[in-house]
Structure formats: C-alpha cells, structure tokens
C-alpha cells in the first residue's frame, strides 16, 4: 500500500438546488456571469437567505464577530464558489469543517487566540507598494513586473496577500486606494515598460483582471504586445475558478482569441494564472473555461495555490487537487505559495519545515513537469523554493534566506551576501521557542 493512492475522479457540478436560496435557480441562470455577479454573497443576511435554516444561528454570530474584529477582507463570494462548499449534506458542522469555507468565510473561532498575528506580520508583507515604479506597477525582480490594473475581484479571499489594497475597507483595515484614473495609470505603466527594455515579463493582475471591462483589458494587452521587449504576459484571475462564467462569455472569448492570436504571431507567451486551493473547487464549468482559453490560443493555464492549514496542507489534499487540475481541468499545477505574513493569518500559515515535508511527500506521483513547487515569498527577497533555506533556527522558528539580485528600491551598493529572515507561526514552535517570543514581546 502506498502513502497516496491515485484514483481518477471526474469533475462534478454539485447541485446548487440543495441550497434553499437557489432551489429554483435554472441552469441557464447558473451559467450566466451576470446572474452569478448579481447573486454574490456580500453580507450575512444574504448568506442566511442562501443557506436558510441549514445552519445554526451560532455560525452567523461567529462570522459576524470575525468581520467586526479580525477580518482583513470584506465578504464577497460568488454562488459558484459557495456551491463548492460541502458538496454533500450541509449542516453547521460540515460547513465549519469545509476547506473552501475556511478561507472564503473565515469565522472568529477559526483564528488562534494566543498569537492570531505574528509579531512581524504587516499589511503589505511583500512590500509591493514600496516597490511601485508607477501607481500599481511593482518592479521587484530584475526582469519582471507586476501590473495591478485595479483593486477589486469578483471574490474576496480571507487570506489575500494584497489585503492592504484589494477590496473594501473592513472594520479593522482601512484600505489603500489607487488614486489615478485607470487610463492614466495604464499609460504610466506602458511608458515605464517602454523605457525599461530589461523588463520582459509582465504579470497583469489586480485584484483580478476579470473585473477590468474587457475592452479596457484588451486594449492594455494589445499595447503590451506592441512593446517588442515584452516576451511573457501572464493574466492573473482567480475568477477562472470562482466565476468561470465570466471567461465563457462570448465577447470575452472572442477578445481573448484576438489577443492570443496577436501574442502567437509576435512570439509572446500568453498564459493565464489562476488560484485554486482545493479539489472541491474544480467543477466541469471551471474545466470548460480553462479548455476554452486553451482552444482560443492561450498557451498555458497554470495554478498558483496557497498552502493553508485546514484547507489543503496535507499531501493527500495537495495531490488530489493537482490530479484534478492536471488530469481533469487542463490546468498545470505550478506553485503553492506559503501563506504570507499578513495580520490574523497564523491559523492558516504553516512552518517552513512543514512545507518542506509536504514538498517531499508530493514528489514522484505527478508527471515531473506538473509537480508543483512549494515556495516561500520572503520579504525583500522574493520567491524561494522551500528547500533553499540557508539557516534554520527551529526553536524560534526563524529561517534565513539569500538572494541573487537587487529590487528596484535597492541601489548597487546593497550587499548581496545579506540574509533575510522569515518566521514560522509561533504555535508550531517547541515550548522553549514560544516562551522566547513571549518574553521578547512581553511589552
Ligand atoms: S482573488 Fe487574489 S487578489 Fe482577489 S482577494 Fe483573492 S487572493 Fe486577493
């Protein structure tokens, strides 16, 4: 008997009519992007209407407490995503235990009481804003930039690493605002890229590009494709999974085909990067959206998930997800990021040694090219494979990492031999390590 046994599981669309609020919703409505957007759950009352009396009042109280005291993201969940929670019988207990619920609808009792936040957690933990070279354009790696076209998404994830900027303000987080008009912002990004031919790779993101009106997105992409030095374009959209209906709309598919054709003619690698964290989230409609993108000429659809306790941090969960992505949905398992050091995320974060163990445990089952790398995005460094640690203080949970380039905020005098720390969640440390942190932060 092997530690993991592969069994093919074909994708199924759970029956949305099991939710009292959608008992008479038709397939035509369900498959309409407009219907999905109009019926997104944005507050507890709307959730109550969907769930009816399947769930006890105590759950809603727990959710309300979380929103008032801990949540860094406001609530926004498309019906498509709610339907992937508890595919079978919904009860209070099954909803509490559900992996998709755990990150899309976090409740107060999920959070840790002793160290809900790491002492070094910060709002913009990757310092993306500090590295803006134009509003929304982060230049962190020598050859790559991240273009944040907008600060909204069709769905808000509780663990969002861009919680500083993305979504509506919450009772605990006053969000940063993009201040320039979108057209001016896009112009400034294009001007920067024209002036910096060393940048060859543009991640077009947000937020989620599914919220950029298609004609604006297409025009931005065509302008990028006019820059001869841009060779890779990646479109970041969790909506491919959260709202696949968007990517199946005829005007979007036709527009994507025009962009993909132009990219192919110019030899540019156009890919879609999506964000799926659990096999349950993959339905036939998600597979159809990914397949359609490939059919119209997008070169690849890849997944960048986030590794989270209670959601997917076991080898079996990761492998189930990767086999569903690779074998059933045509999406390449690419990365799993360790959850970043944002406030109130300690119950999701895993320690580096746990991530290393998971990387070890998933090797050898998937084709090599579809075996995802588990990466740690180390502040001021960038993505590192979890085995690239140079030093590890296991007692205090501090890892040290090095880098081989300078970010846009470091000048050439910056020493490349320096090492940078990253921190494990304190509840994963031995008692002596936890005691050290208690003393260190006693004041
Ligand atoms: S889709 Fe991405 S950017 Fe939007 S809330 Fe989720 S993690 Fe954040």
The string of pLDDT tens digits covering residues 305-330 is: 999 999 999 999 999 999 999 999 99
Looking at every residue in the chain, the average pLDDT score rounds to 96
Q: How far is the CA of 99 from the centre of ligand 1 (A)?
A: 17
255: Cβ–Cβ under 8 A, 6 or more apart, which residues? 214, 215, 217, 218
In a domain, 118, yes or no: no
Distance from Cα 182 to the centre of ligand 1, integer Å: 19
Statement to judge: residues 295 and 335 lie in one domain: yes
CB 73, CB 158: distance < 8 Å: yes
Of all protein residues, the one whose alpha carbon is nearest to atom 7 of ligand 1 is: 160
Burial class (CB in 10 A: 0-12, 13-18, 19+), 191: exposed
Q: Residue 59: give the domain boundaries.
A: 16-110
User: Which residue's CA is the nearest one to ligand 1's atom 8?
Assistant: 160
**Residue 411: pLDDT above 90?**
no
Burial class of residue 195, CB neighbours in 10 A (0-12, 13-18, 19+): exposed
| Domain co-membership, 147 together with 244 | yes
Residue 279 has pLDDT above 90, yes or no: yes
Q: Is 276 in the pocket of ligand 1 (CB under 6 A)?
A: no
Hey, whose CA ends up nearest to atom 1 of ligand 1?
238
Please identify, by atom number, the ligand 1 atom nearest to the C-alpha of residue 205. Answer: 3
Average pLDDT on 341-356 reads 97
Q: Are residues 226 and 170 in the same domain?
A: yes
In a domain, 364, yes or no: yes
What confidence category does residue 124 fall into, taking pLDDT thresholds of 50, 70 and 90? confident
pLDDT of amino acid 126: 82
Given a contact cutoff of 8 angstroms between Cβ atoms, the answer to whether 420 and 402 are in contact is yes
Q: Is the CB of 306 under 6 A from ligand 1?
A: no
**Residue located nearest, by CA, to atom 5 of ligand 1:** 156
Domain count for the chain = 2
Per the domain annotation, does 60 fall within a domain? yes
**Measured between alpha carbons, how far is 280 from 274 in angstroms, rounded to an integer?**
15
pLDDT tens digits, residue range 248-269? 999 999 999 999 999 999 999 9
Residue 156 shares a structural domain with residue 251: yes
| The predicted structure's pLDDT at residue 443 | 62
Round to whole Å and give the CA distance between 142 and 418.
18
**How far apart are the C-alpha atoms of 171 and 114, rounded to whole Å?**
21
Q: How far apart are the first and last CA of the chain?
A: 52
How many angstroms is it from 200 CA to the middle of ligand 1? 24
The answer on 204 and 321 residing in a single domain is yes
Last residue within a domain, chosen from 45, 78, 110? 110
Residue 344 belongs to domain with CATH number: 3.20.20.70
Whether pLDDT at 188 is above 80: yes
pLDDT band for position 33 (cuts 50, 70, 90) = very high
116 located within any domain: no
Cα–Cα distance, 170 to 167 (Å, whole number): 9
53-109 pLDDT, tens digit each: 999 999 999 999 999 999 999 999 999 999 999 999 999 999 999 999 999 999 999
Band (417; pLDDT cuts 50, 70, 90): confident
Identify the band that residue 158 occupies on the pLDDT scale cut at 50, 70 and 90. very high
Separation between Cα atoms, residue 102 and residue 68, nearest integer Å? 17
């Amino acid at each position: 008997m092997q530690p993991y046994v592969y069994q093919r599981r074909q994708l199924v669309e759970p029956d949305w009519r099991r939710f009292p609020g959608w008992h008479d919703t038709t397939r035509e409505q369900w498959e309409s992007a407009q219907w999905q957007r109009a019926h997104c759950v944005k507050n507890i009352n709307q959730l109550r209407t969907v769930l009816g009396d399947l769930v006890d009042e105590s759950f809603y109280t727990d959710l309300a407490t979380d929103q008032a005291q801990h949540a860094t993201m406001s609530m926004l969940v498309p019906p498509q995503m709610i339907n992937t929670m508890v595919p079978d019988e919904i009860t209070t207990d099954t909803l509490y235990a559900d992996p998709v619920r755990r990150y899309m609808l976090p409740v107060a009792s999920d959070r840790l009481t002793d160290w809900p936040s790491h002492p070094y957690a910060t709002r913009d933990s990757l310092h993306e804003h500090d590295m803006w070279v134009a509003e929304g354009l982060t230049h962190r790696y020598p050859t790559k930039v991240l273009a944040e076209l907008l600060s909204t998404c069709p769905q808000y994830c509780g663990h969002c690493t861009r919680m500083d900027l993305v979504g509506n303000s919450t009772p605990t987080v006053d969000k940063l605002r993009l201040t320039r008009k979108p057209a001016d912002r896009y112009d400034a990004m294009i001007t920067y890229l024209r002036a910096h031919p060393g940048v060859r790779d543009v991640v077009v993101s947000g937020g989620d590009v599914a919220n950029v009106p298609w004609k604006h997105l297409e025009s931005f992409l065509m302008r990028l494709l006019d820059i001869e030095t841009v060779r890779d374009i990646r479109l970041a959209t969790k909506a491919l999974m959260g709202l696949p209906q968007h990517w199946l709309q005829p005007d979007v598919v036709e527009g994507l085909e025009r962009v993909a054709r132009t990219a192919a003619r110019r030899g540019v690698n156009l890919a879609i990067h999506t964000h799926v964290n659990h096999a349950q989230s993959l339905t036939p409609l998600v597979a159809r959206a990914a397949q359609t993108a490939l059919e119209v000429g997008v070169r690849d659809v890849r997944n960048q998930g986030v590794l989270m306790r209670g959601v997917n941090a076991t080898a079996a969960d990761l492998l189930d997800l990767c086999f569903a992505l690779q074998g059933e949905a045509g999406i390449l398992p690419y990365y799993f990021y360790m959850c970043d050091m944002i406030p109130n995320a300690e119950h999701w974060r895993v320690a580096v040694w746990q991530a290393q163990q998971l990387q070890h445990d998933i090797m050898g089952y998937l084709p090599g090219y579809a075996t995802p790398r588990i990466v740690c995005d180390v502040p001021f460094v960038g993505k590192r494979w979890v085995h690239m640690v140079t030093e590890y203080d296991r007692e205090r949970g501090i890892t040290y990492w090095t880098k081989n380039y300078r970010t846009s905020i470091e000048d050439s005098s910056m020493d490349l031999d320096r090492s940078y720390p990253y921190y494990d969640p304190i509840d994963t440390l031995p008692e002596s390590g936890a005691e050290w942190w208690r003393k260190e932060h006693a004041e």
